[in-house]
Structure 1
């Protein structure tokens, strides 16, 4: 991708270690406790900014603001007026896309070429849901009971939505939650990941500029254990939506069931890539490799299980390993970077433990396998793109979501066999 601006120059204008308040009821506020968290650049370890460490009291305030907005001005907006708001937001995203992309890169490490490339998808979502605001209708239903009876349905907003998003796609994940809520006339309290809170706060500014009424969109920064848990259990939240780990999703489901709120979960994945013996290897190698490495493996649909026909398995794995070794790893803000850092030292350590388990359980390490060090990488959380061959289905690296740049390659003999093996997982999501 050719860039028509200097991302490094843009980055210097965004964050300078300052305090960035959260957004509740149309106001920019600190946590009621006064506690703060540091927002770190995962490529360098530098402090980009500090944000409030919101807790239960802040969630309560945000839910109250969302309820007041739902029962107040927002419920009086017609579908057409909601559509206009969403389209104004889309226009502002067009105008500020470079800023949002650079913020995402600084906040969570994804290379700038990747964050910029999300433009069509994210802005397209805003425009799509803008269109849906006027396209949601009830229906008349034929009644089998004799008599002058008319049966019909009417779509009404659920109410206050609580949304908890992960750190691996701050802009996209925010819009996936906010846009449908606004289109349907709901209000929302969004809790971003404590590891990537800065871009959602920029998004709140654009919502305000677009004319979203106070309290319709609220952003509470904080930890999952404090702010997230309170949002999931809050009795005045009508629906909770969550994207993240399966373990956390189970806890959120239990909290939601306690007061019968609606729950939507997008959880972990262990997606398969299947390469048959007649595949075009030149085309298949980069596709299979980047299905994992594109986001340093930090994406729930990563194709981390690579099934390859036995006749071509060794050659294909060798080619994938060569491809992995040529990838440019570095700071996401550099235009030439192809693979960025992991989000934090804790995640890097987790990935290292999976790599060790792969070797300990007998998998053959053919590429990567180590943490990167040296002047470019010191201070950051970089793991070399890693490829294992001779993996069995019973190995930990083949069964569990790693959320890192690790491919587990496994041979197969027949299509029926590989389909059964691909489906033999507790995870859902992508195939």
Structure 2
């Protein structure tokens, strides 16, 4: 029986891999512009990390995590998101004690959630995220948002809509929590089982329910904006003012609560085009209590995470074509046994000098070798046979215009680099 890929996962084939590399390269370049450093954490962590860090009332913890026991009986989980792991590492390695603060970090890697697979929502998916830990300055909220917007814009997306909200500080959230309980409690029996369970634990999560989003009480639920205290209002006003000065447009949405329990103050999403709809490309927000929740000192933090799979869909909808994979600089065509023995040596010399080069490995005839050079989009073909070996020269053919020259083996690398410079710029 043929073994097939697990449901909700996918293979990135060579024809698609360069788009992923381009996206990841752009992410790293943008993070460097903003002075964010890469950090890598394990793909699996203690289950308790996500129960405490993400929140035991969330869909992620209740329904979507891949949990397992190792041979030592330890409860482990494939990471469903990146922030909890980053905060765990921040606390464990005492990064809060370093002189360089805030710690501005980013990650790119696979996450795992047991969901119903659909376009842009897989069971294994790849996230790019950035986190800034240690600063309560509203300007770093704006910086994190600007980083995400810059990333999308550098990749060519134009249909972007930034949505903002504030969940306020603990005092504001507590007042809003009481108002939500009073609002929903008389009719909570009309809601799904999840909402009924969340009423007392975390009623804010009811507003994020997909099953009951059309219930009339959703539209009349108390808005967090009405319960923000003066400090929270001032903080949010500063974030908005900085974004205004940056020229970053946004919309306010008091119903934006995000799907994780650790958010407070600024929350945001960036919406983009999808097939037949507008979809959330990324989300993030401030999480000032998460570090202390995971055993560290009271430390403010803010971050975002985005799905590369959803980004690829948005690029497709907007018709953005990422540049193709690099073509070969040259392809060696060998004629005869002696030439076939010489070709690997010559090929290695070209590669050591930084040229993208290849040769035939399938014992093709000359015509077949030239066809392979075409398939690899080689700019030049280097032909060697008995006569060329005798003369210590190769025939170099320019595949763009068909011209060819005899070039001494000793000068071949310099010749190709000079010619390629006129085509590609500095080689």
Q: TM-score if structure 1 supplies the norm length? A: 0.22
Q: Which has the higher contact order (CA 8 A, sep 6+)?
A: 1
TM norm structure 2: 0.22
Q: Whose Rg is larger?
A: 2
